Amino acid sequence: MAHVLCIPSGLTGGLYSSLELMRRLNADGHRVSCASPGDCQAAVTAAGFPYVQLTPNTYSEWSRVDKNVPWVRRLMDTSNRRRKAIEALGVERVAAELTEMQPDLVLIDRELHEHIIIALSLDLPLALTSTWFAIWRKPRIPPPHKGIIPGQTWKGSRAGIELYWRWLHLHKTRLAFREGVRHPGADRISVLKALANLHGVKLRKHIELYQWQIPFSYKSLPLLCLRSLEMEFPHKPPRTVHYMGPMINPQRVDQSTSTDSNAQLESILSRHRRDGNRVLIYCGFGSFFKTIEAFLYRLFEAAASRPDWDLIVPVGEDQMRKLGELSAENVHCFDWVPQLQVLGQADLALVHGGVNTIAECVHFGVPMIVYNQEFLDMPGNTARVVYHGIGVEGDIRGETPEEIRAKIDGILENAEIKTRVTTMRDRVLNSDRDKRVEDVVHELLAE
């Protein structure tokens, strides 16, 4: 029995995926534990795994303070500032903590660069985890922040995709230069390189600067991609990449809602189960940022004229105070809802393009209208939904209530989209049964 240590970043979507990865490894006979610089303790311990709280990374807070120091003083105090910046990474005790835990394999979120460097310095068996779709530079894979579909228009041509990758290269170079000027000697890349030198890690042989991830990605380390290859654009992944599937546990226990909210939600779902003529629409825009309120006003207006629809909208506590009073009889606002429970019955989902929500819609065979705000990888995720024909893209800023209503009706009446999303669900579930996670982890442990 091997000891597998998972180190997630703590962001909600990635944490859910990590917990399901841990559950599967535990069921395969491994001893699994978790550590994180994020606030994960409640969720991890509730799932039954040992947990170690790592020191949070406060580099962003340090850099905001450093930016206000006169530039000449910053330049003259470079070594001292760099030392403080390294301390702000929060990894001073991580080497001792990892050594004490004695894992046989460490699985670290690919964005936790400082923890990856420490694990490399200890020569621990190491693999990275990621919940993104492909972010590597390939001839038929566009950068994830662009909603480009390969083979469509000049943007999706081989030359067009290459042009966008070259533009990204220049953009990243400009960002790195700007940060180097703003924080001389203590910008993110310089600090991570200094940390690597401090711990005897030859970072240059591991990293790759010109892929999508900022500030860099890793070319030499195995990567467990917690996504489905079936949902990708067709391509051959790099040899170090292993697609594991979306890591969804339909039995997971989400945070609790109030008794009144639970009763209200169950009443809506029960009515939908009883009345086959009612349509249940879920509007889920994730936990990472706020939805555009103007869009919600237009959506509510679109739904109000269709009494046979039930629209369930989690809006967060702050927006709940503003929007709750605007709800029509068939528009139901909550500060939070258990997403999997609602998707298990939904006929349609309006989503923001977050990769975890898209995966959960596919898991339950729910067609989508994706209203993304062009944030991070959301355009690329949206392009994959459109490419596979399991949903359509909406315009969150420009669509009128009439256009929103027409788009919803169009999806509900489109049997082909429903068939495609059902087929995709079956393909993904079949791949889950192949024990990819267990087999890949066995290979890593054997190596």
Looking at the chain, the number of H-run helices and the number of E-run strands are: 18, 15
Model confidence at 195: pLDDT above 80 = yes
Identity at 62, one-letter amino acid code: W
Distance CA 201, CA 215 (A): 17
Q: Are 67 and 38 in contact (CB under 8 A)?
A: no
Average the pLDDT over 312-339 and give the result.
74
> Which stretches does DSSP call E strand in 89-138?
105-109, 126-130
Contact 243, 274 (CB under 8 A): no
What is the residue type of 410? Answer: G
Q: What is the pLDDT of residue 408?
A: 95
So what's the pLDDT on residue 260? 63
Examine the pLDDT at 320 and tell me if it is beyond 70.
Answer: no
Task: Give alpha helix (H) positions in 237-315.
Answer: 259-274, 293-304
Cα(308)–Cα(330) distance, integer angstroms: 8
Q: How far apart are CA 215 and CA 204, in angstroms?
A: 13
CA 53 to chain centre: 22
Q: What is the C-alpha separation between 397 and 358, in angstroms, rounded?
A: 20
* 415 exposure class (CB count in 10 Å sphere: 0-12, 13-18, 19+): exposed
When pLDDT is cut at 50, 70 and 90, the band that residue 254 belongs to is low
Q: Which residues contact 441 (CB under 8 A, 6 or more apart)?
A: 4, 25, 28, 30, 105
Give residue for tokens 């500032």. 81
What's the confidence (pLDDT) of residue 373?
A: 84
Q: Are 312 and 337 in contact (CB under 8 A)?
A: yes
Phi/psi of residue 313, each to 5°?
Answer: -130, 105
Q: Are 411 and 346 in contact (CB under 8 A)?
A: no
Q: Is the pLDDT of residue 325 over 80?
A: no
Of the listed ranges 86-95, 139-148, 150-159, 264-273, the least confidently predicted one is 264-273
Report whether pLDDT(286) > 70.
no
State how far Cα 244 lies from the chain centre. Answer: 15
CB atoms within 10 A of CB 96: 10
Q: What is the pLDDT of residue 431?
A: 76
379: pLDDT strictly greater than 90: yes
What percent of the chain has pLDDT above 70? 94
End-to-end CA distance of the chain: 15
> What confidence score (pLDDT) does residue 149 get?
95
- Mean pLDDT over all residues of the chain? 89
